[in-house]
Amino acid sequence: MDLSDYALEFSEMSELAFVQNALHSLVAPPSISSDMGARIRFAASKLGWSFSRTRTCWYGDERVALRPAELRKIEHFTGVVYDPERTGHGRRELAEIDALMSRAEALLERGDEDFYRSFVAGLSAYLGAFDRARTQDR
């Protein structure tokens, strides 16, 4: 495997990695409990899955075959849509937002009277990215 294959492997999130990440951070975040078993039980009860199925997905066992209904359940519960064709779009959007925020910060430092417009545009783009992630068509 050359370096470009390695980068590609980790730039695209598989369904299993998406579900595992969603389980860890959104369905049963660390604030639920410091006990991993309790977090898995919590996730299982919220999703209506068995404990063993949830544990298998939690630990990212590559032998698991996710069913479309399970993926939809995670998407519905978290509000985040898995779309492999949009890989990289979030990074570009984040770079655009960072550029707008940097410009807004520079304007704030200059004390330019026009800085409010750029600051509001940057903040609006930043918040819009989060809103779009939650309101995409499913």
CA 47 to chain centre: 18
Provide the pLDDT for residue 55.
96
For 59-96, how does the pLDDT look when each residue is reduced to its tens digit (9 = 90+)? 999 898 899 999 999 988 888 778 776 655 556 666 77
Q: What is the pTM of this model?
A: 0.54
What one-character DSSP code corresponds to residue 34? Answer: S
Which residues in the chain show pLDDT less than 50? Answer: 1-11, 137-138
Provide the pLDDT for residue 117.
72
Largest CA distance in the chain: 60
Segments making up each domain of the chain, as ranges: 3-82, 88-135
Provide the pLDDT for residue 18.
86
Provide the pLDDT for residue 110.
67
Q: CA 64 to CA 55: how far, in whole Å?
A: 11
Q: CA 76 to CA 73: how far, in whole Å?
A: 5
Provide the pLDDT for residue 50.
94
Q: Report the residue count for the chain.
A: 138
For residue 76, give Cα distances in angstroms to 17, 118, 133: 17, 35, 12
Q: CB burial class (10 A; 0-12, 13-18, 19+) of residue 71?
A: middle
Provide the pLDDT for residue 132.
63
Using the structure block, give the residue that is written with the tokens 């655009």. Answer: 96
Provide the pLDDT for residue 87.
54
Query: Do 47 and 77 meet the contact criterion of CB atoms below 8 Å apart?
Result: yes
